[in-house]
A = this chain, B = another copy of it.
Amino acid sequence: MNATVITIGDEILIGQIVDTNSAWIGQQFNAIGIRLYEIISCGDDAAQIVGALDRAKATSQIVIMTGGLGPTKDDITKKTLVEYFNTELELNEEVWEKMKQIFEKRGLQVLEMNRSQAMIPKASTMLPNMRGTAQGMWFDVDGVVYISMPGVPHEMKHLMETQVLPRLKERFSFPHIYHVNLMTAGAGESVVANKLSAFEEQLPSNMKLAYLPNLGVVKLRLSAYGEGDALANVVAVQKEKIKEALGSLVYQEGEEPLEVFIGKLLSERKETISCAESCTGGYISHLLTSVAGSSAYFEGSIISYSYDVKEKVLGVKNETLMQVGAVSEECVNEMLSGLLKLTGTTYGIAVSGIAGPGGATADKPVGTVWIAVGSQQRQVAKRFTFFPSRAENIKVFSNAALNMIRLFIQGEL
């Protein structure tokens, strides 16, 4: 079962955006046993789109298109598909009504150009987009399924999950692949791989272990190919071996990020958390509050970027800042004590470091961070050194802090 992904948009070809849709679709397909044969990125140009479609159908039974479905003149994917499949557009009253309602609710005027987005090709099945005004389309022609979706990543992902993948599973029969994911935090890919070298040697040939590292978190995906119910048991046995080899590095089975896991821990225990962030600038709080329902356990945070806020709001001593500096064990411990006093939460996290590019000193290079985690009774602080890049450091510092509080809550720190 082969698939081709066609991503459409001039902005991809001139490098104004990086195409992340293809990689995400590739992951989804790989997980259910569809082989992604090729990815083609072409411009908003009918001849190019037609050329890509012709080639795709020669190798693939599934052709996924993203992009070019906006209301403006440069978006021509739908028009091109109508011609390619020799069909015509008709107004979908339901979509049009809903669109008008949405615009009205937001106090906006519906424009004639929006109406074009409610026009659906007769030969297609509409895939309703609950996240935007560009609807998905499904064409099933001569044994090949062609799917067109908007290029906006969150709209595309939502359509894939709610419409495309379930429909593909119905339309085709896929080989058996059995996956188990394990989430690890606190060690890099090579450290994890080293701990698993003996495990990998004994792994049966129909099983495969993949490492998917992401800034302080490494997802492990164990895949088994074959037939029958016994497969699940075989995978379960191997999974336990991984857990044994990695100990507390594994925080969970599944694919949930640390902030979701911590949220569950806190919800179960009816406990609360707050943060005092300096160099991470709100990113830890953002991760914690990205979880729906986080108001049950997340009370709030103090982003103490300046000395002034550290002193006035968190009660960090001026001597500490002057004598050992903001990136120090003393400072994060004082930030944490002040925070826990102010918010009264069960747990707290305090972080102060040098994300870069500026701010380094002789003994504190860019990438240095002090993290303190603790409760009203006890605090633990650690120093880490990570990367040279600001954007990565903010994320890797945040994951390191979340992993520390995870271990603290679990009684392993």
A123 within 8 A of B: no
| Shortest Cβ distance from residue A268 to the other chain B in the assembled complex, whole angstroms | 18
Given A292-B356, A358-B293, A391-B290, A282:B299 Cβ within 8 A: no
- Point out the residues of chain B lying under 8 angstroms from A113, CB to CB: 190, 193-194
A391 proximity list for chain B (CB < 8 A): 154, 290
A284 CB, nearest partner CB in chain B, Å: 7
**Closest Cβ of chain B: how far from A173's Cβ, in Å?**
20
Residues from chain B with Cβ under 8 Å of A219 in the complex: 16
**Can you list, as one digit per residue, whether each of A380-401 has a CB less than 8 Å from chain B (1) or not (0)?**
0000011111111010000000
Q: Is A322 in contact with chain B by the CB < 8 A criterion? A: no
**How far does the alpha carbon of A185 sit from the alpha carbon of B122 in the complex, in Å?**
36
Interface residues on A, range: 35 or more
Which of A15, A71, A113, A130 has the most C-beta atoms of chain B within 10 angstroms of its own C-beta? A15
**Which residues of chain B come closer than 8 Å to A244, judged between CB atoms?**
none
Contact segment of A82-90, A138-146, A204-212, A227-235: A204-212
In the bound complex, CA of A16 to CA of B294 (Å):
25
Q: Are A298 and B305 in contact (CB under 8 A)?
A: yes
CA distance A219 to B11 in the complex (A): 11
B302 touches A300 (CB 8 A): yes
A73 at the interface (CB under 8 A from B): yes
Which B residues are CB-close (under 8 A) to A403? none
20 CB-based A-B contacts, threshold 8 Å: A15-B23, A15-B24, A19-B39, A37-B43, A40-B41, A70-B213, A71-B189, A73-B200, A74-B208, A114-B190, A130-B388, A131-B389, A277-B282, A281-B282, A289-B305, A289-B394, A293-B358, A301-B305, A308-B344, A313-B313
Residues on A lying within 8 angstroms of B by beta carbon are 10-20, 22-30, 35-44, 48, 52, 55, 70-74, 105-108, 111, 113-114, 130-131, 152, 154, 158, 179, 188-191, 193-194, 200, 208-213, 219, 221, 255, 274-275, 277, 281-286, 288-290, 292-295, 298-306, 308-309, 312-313, 342-344, 356-359, 365, 385-392, 394
16 additional A-B pairs beyond A38-B48, A114-B190, A292-B358, beta carbons within 8 Å, are: A13-B35, A13-B37, A14-B36, A16-B255, A17-B23, A18-B20, A37-B43, A72-B211, A111-B194, A131-B389, A282-B282, A282-B303, A295-B359, A298-B306, A300-B308, A302-B302
